[in-house]
Amino acid sequence: MKYYIIAGEASGDLHGSNLIKELKKLDAAADIRCWGGDKMQAAGGTLVKHYRDLAFMGFTEVLMNLRTIFKNLAFCKEDILLYKPGTLILIDYPGFNLRIAKWAKRQGLKVIYYISPQVWAWKENRVKMMKETIDKMLVILPFEKDYYKNKWNWEVEYVGHPLVEEIERHKTQGTRNKFSDKPIIALLPGSRKQEIAKKLPVMLAVSKSFPDHQFVIAQAPSVDDAFYQSFTASYSNVSFVKDQTYNLLLQSKAALVTSGTATLETALFGVPEVVCYKGSFLSYQIGKRLVNVKYISLVNLIMDKLVVKELIQNDLTTENLKKELQLLLIDENRIAVIKKDYAALKELLSQGGDASAKAASSIFNFLC
């Protein structure tokens, strides 16, 4: 069968690559064309567009790049029609993918959505359209199944979170980088240049207060070395690794992490963390009025309590970050509570089983 898969971010590339591997186990004749990244391409997909050419963050950034976004939408539709897939599989990335879903339904294509848009946080009015245009929805957060059923009378399938098996696999197979003997503080400032530029300088300033530790930046694969070096030149205890985020977390004592999927990855590695968010003034002011959630971190959202500290916008200062990091390094009681909550989090996310395999099986059986 011919599958057309669209992912628009680094996390989608990871989950898409594992889905491709599992689909190929079930369907020996699988022909897969995709938007994503290096991982999806390595798994056997024919890559049409790389996510680094698609990722625009925040309201103002999206507005500035509307022409490019609409050109990509038009090209995508044309490419799908030429390819004539048996199904369209959309992975998260809702701003783009929901437009494609609505269009694809009118073309008579089967539409499967893997990893639900976070409509429970904002833009809840999208659900009616989603229910009309998506033939099968696969969700990865445990509360999403009840949310769709109880509030929207929509039966969706919970498959578990694909990060659980990915990280467990890496814990047993990962390699350790060669660093100095100093304890490691991981810095995960995000995957896009605009978010890195907002948060990395604050993270780096903290390093001066911890000379007995080494601070290691997890470079995004789509961002060049020179960009990071423009921030790190004056710091003696800072280094960076590229395409080695999981190996870095394997060895880290604590982490300063941008909000997003990375907060969940860090928790599943058992690393105490401080969650950081800072956007442009306009994007933040708009978002604050539209987003309807108690927390910005997936860890806290899933557990429905404050497991990890969140420093948001004006609270993300060097002084606040320094204070919170100090607690993560010396407060044994706090560390023990975090680790206990992390274990409960993993248990919740493991309930669906091997998410990638389960998702592939569900897709294959639905189409056959």
Q: What are the tens digits of pLDDT across the range 60-92?
A: 455 556 677 788 899 999 999 999 999 999 999
pLDDT attached to residue 280: 52
Selected residue with higher pLDDT from 360 and 291: 360
Quickly list DSSP for 257-305: EESSHHHHHHHHTT--EEEEE---HHHHHHHHHH---S-SSHHHHHHTS
Q: 4: which strand partners?
A: 33, 88
What are the helix (H) ranges across 57-192?
59-64, 66-83, 94-106, 126-133, 142-152, 162-173
Report how far residue 275's alpha carbon sits from residue 268's, in angstroms, rounded to the nearest whole number: 14
- pLDDT over threshold 50, residue 281: no
pLDDT attached to residue 286: 43
pLDDT digit string, tens, across residues 286-331:
455 445 567 889 999 999 999 999 999 889 999 999 999 999 999 9
Burial of 363 (0-12, 13-18, 19+ CB in 10 A): buried
Burial of 121 (0-12, 13-18, 19+ CB in 10 A): middle
- pLDDT over threshold 80, residue 277: yes
The pTM assigned to this predicted structure is 0.82
pLDDT attached to residue 109: 97
pLDDT cut 90: percent of the chain above it: 71
**284: pLDDT confidence band, cut at 50, 70 and 90?**
very low
Q: Which domains does the chain have, with CATH numbers?
A: 2-160+351-367 (3.40.50.2000), 167-349 (3.40.50.2000)
pLDDT digit string, tens, across residues 155-175:
999 999 999 988 998 888 866
- With residue 344 as reference, give the H or E element that holds it: helix 332-349
